[in-house]
A and B are shown apart, each in its own frame.
Chain A
């Protein structure tokens, strides 16, 4: 036990006397005195059920919450009555400013996440694995990719979990959304592990990749962690998933990537909308975010470690003959170019068009491709 409260309620004589009085039937109903504005919360569309957005009304609405939450540092849900003069415990949230965490449309992403959950055990056609023959080198390359992706998904599970309790409880929608992200990412780690074990097994863990992933987890602020994970990292991984579906050896892997792709794209959308909200409402952080991204983009190239790059080339070319490798290099080069271009476009839309000019990514990509071909 590391937390000892300021009051031992079990021995508090006032409290004990009051409980005895209540049990005798002497209720004072003081908790009914606080006047509440009555709100009407109903389903706007019965097919969606009662949504988070349906509950955005009156004093419960995020719109009616100040940019900086000062009065609540505990677990009170937004709109609850805080007892005057009483001492709520301070749970020490460090993210008390809406722009620290909020993203446009986050309520919708939460609902979408809840409705589009899937199950690794039953939604991937594992029963079809034996119907298809995969050449050994392609299978091993695929399992090398699964090994890296398992590492990536571990960090993507940990980052939202790390920041959730730092968020003020008034930002429940963001806490809820990143909780769905944590379960999505845990499911992704599960699917890649299961696929590897059902095939050739897990292969080399990535030293470079893990350094890159550590950079995400060690970000100094939630916004930095979010822009690194959601916009940069998951944006890149989304394109990698697209490519992986494209080069999937069989319909089993194809289905797997279709499903993980959907979750990943939702996380990217939230990250984009958080970055946009941050730039719109807190433009003074732009130099800090840019400085962070200068380093984060360098870190990210760690994901292009030689094992992963070679396995992608083998998968892209569907083999290890010189001709297959030549074709694989073309496929991987094309998707890397796409990763970078889509990232710049997202950054531009979020309000950071300067990334295209100052980013080290283009030069690094050219160096890597030259290294492979050269």
Chain B
């Protein structure tokens, strides 16, 4: 069954897959961070993902980042999220130009919004886990908004 992107169901499915796959994520190590994912389009959507040790323990949709205690937030237009996910679906992992790091680095196609540099550094400290989390979408049937 197709899952809509962006949607709470999409991120909840990734969380379920992560929590059902301890072998991969325990090997990557502790991951403790709260991150935001913002998908900009005709209507913007904002999701909060809480990573706790080896799990994604909480996923929710927020109406605004006000009051959310994100370590960092990844913000990009829907078209870029789509390109990135399609690259993952095509290759099982993103091509070099579509890793979360690449997208958020030169050119700032994806913005990393943060307040505290330590929160910002968590994006890099847990990069392999966060990328593996997103890569789980490789075999999802996605219905694009």
- Which A residues have a C-beta under 8 Å from some C-beta of B? 45, 47-48, 108, 111-112, 115-117, 238, 242-243, 245-246, 248, 250-251, 254, 257-259, 261-262, 264-266, 268-269, 272-273, 331, 334-335, 338, 342, 345-346, 349
Q: How far is the CB of B46 from chain A (nearest CB, A)?
A: 24
Q: A258-B127, A261-B127 are in contact. Are A45 and B53 (CB under 8 A)?
A: yes
B122: A residues at CB distance < 8 A: 265, 269
Residues of A within 8 A of B125 (CB): 112, 116, 262, 265-266, 269
- Of residues 12 through 49 on chain B, the ones whose CB sits less than 8 Å from some CB of chain A are 28-30, 32
Nearest-neighbor residue (CB-CB) of B93 within chain A: A251
B144 within 8 A of A: no
Does B139 sit at the interface, judged by CB under 8 A?
no
Contact B29 A112 (CB under 8 A): yes
Once the chains bind, are A47 and B99 in contact (CB under 8 Å)? no
| Complex contacts, A258 vs chain B, CB 8 Å | 99, 101, 127-128, 131
16 examples of A-B residue contacts, CB within 8 angstroms: A45-B53, A115-B29, A116-B30, A238-B121, A242-B124, A245-B96, A245-B105, A246-B96, A258-B131, A259-B128, A265-B125, A266-B121, A269-B122, A331-B106, A334-B106, A342-B120
Bound Cα distance A346, B93 (Å): 32
User: Nearest Cβ distance between residue A93 and chain B, in whole angstroms?
Assistant: 28
Interface residues on B, range: 20 to 34
In contact, A264 and B107 (Cβ under 8 angstroms): no
Chain A residues with CB under 8 A of B95: 251
Given A259-B128, A265-B125, A266-B125, decide whether A272 and B117 contact each other with a Cβ distance below 8 A: yes
Q: Which of B29, B101, B107, B120 is the one whose CB lies under 8 Å from A245? A: B101
A242 touches B29 (CB 8 A): no
When chains A and B are docked, how far (Å) is the Cα of A238 from the Cα of B117?
Answer: 13
A262 touches B124 (CB 8 A): yes
Report the minimum CB–CB distance from A198 to chain B (whole Å). 18
Query: Within the assembled complex, what's the spacing in Å between the Cα atoms of A111 and B93?
Result: 29
Let me know if B29 and A47 touch, CB within 8 A: no
Q: Are A116 and B96 also in contact (CB < 8 A) when A264-B124, A265-B124 are?
A: no
Residues of A within 8 A of B120 (CB): 342
Determine which residue in B28, B96, B124, B131 has the highest number of CB atoms from chain A within 10 A of its CB, and name it: B124
Residue B54 interfacial (CB < 8 Å): yes
Which residues of B, 108-138, contact A by the 8 Å Cβ criterion?
Answer: 116-118, 120-128, 131
What's the A-B contact tally at a CB cutoff of 8 Å?
89
CA distance A349 to B117 in the complex (A): 7
Q: Report A-chain residues with C-beta under 8 Å of the C-beta of B79.
A: none
Decide if B64 is an interface residue (CB 8 Å cutoff). Answer: no
* Least distance between B77 CB and chain A CB atoms (Å): 19
* Nearest B residue (CB) for A113: B29
| Cα–Cα, bound, A117→B124 (Å) | 15
* Cα separation A86 to B74 with both chains bound (whole Å): 59
Kindly state the separation between the CA atoms of A242 and B96 in the bound complex, as whole angstroms: 12
Closest B residue to A261 by CB, please name it.
B124
CB < 8 Å: which of A115, A259, A335 contacts B106? A335
Residues of the A chain whose Cβ atoms lie less than 8 Å from the Cβ of B124: 238, 242, 261-262, 264-265
- Interface positions of B from 71 to 120, Cβ below 8 Å from A: 93, 95-96, 99, 101-102, 105-107, 116-118, 120
In the bound complex, what is the Cα–Cα distance between A261 and B53 (angstroms)? 19
In the complex, which residue of chain A has the Cβ closest to the Cβ of B101?
A: A245
A45-B53, A242-B101 known; A262-B118 Cβ under 8 A: no
Q: Are A342 and B105 touching (Cβ within 8 A)? A: no
Query: Which of A48, A262, A335, A346 is packed against the most chain B CB atoms within 10 Å?
Result: A262
Apart from A45-B53, A266-B121, A335-B106, what are 6 other A-B pairs with CB-CB below 8 Å? A48-B30, A111-B30, A242-B101, A261-B124, A262-B126, A269-B118
- Select A116's contact among B28, B101, B102, B118, beta carbons within 8 Å: B28
Residues in B neighbouring A254, C-beta threshold 8 A: 96, 99
Cβ–Cβ < 8 Å partners of B99 in chain A: 245-246, 254, 258
- Which residues of chain A are near B127, meaning CB under 8 Å? 258, 261-262, 265
Shortest CB-to-CB span from B23 to chain A, Å, is: 14
> By the criterion CB–CB under 8 Å, are A349 and B118 in contact?
yes
Whether A246 pairs with B30 at a CB distance below 8 angstroms is no
Known: A116-B29, A245-B99, A334-B107. A268 touches B121 (CB 8 A): yes
Given the complex, which residues of B lie within 8 Å of A48, measured CB to CB? 30, 53
Q: How far is the CA of A238 from the CA of B127 in the complex (A)?
A: 12
Task: Give min CB distance, B25 to chain A, whole Å.
Answer: 11
Nearest opposing residue in chain A for B131, CB measure: A258
Q: Which of B32, B106, B126 contacts A243 (CB 8 A)?
A: B106
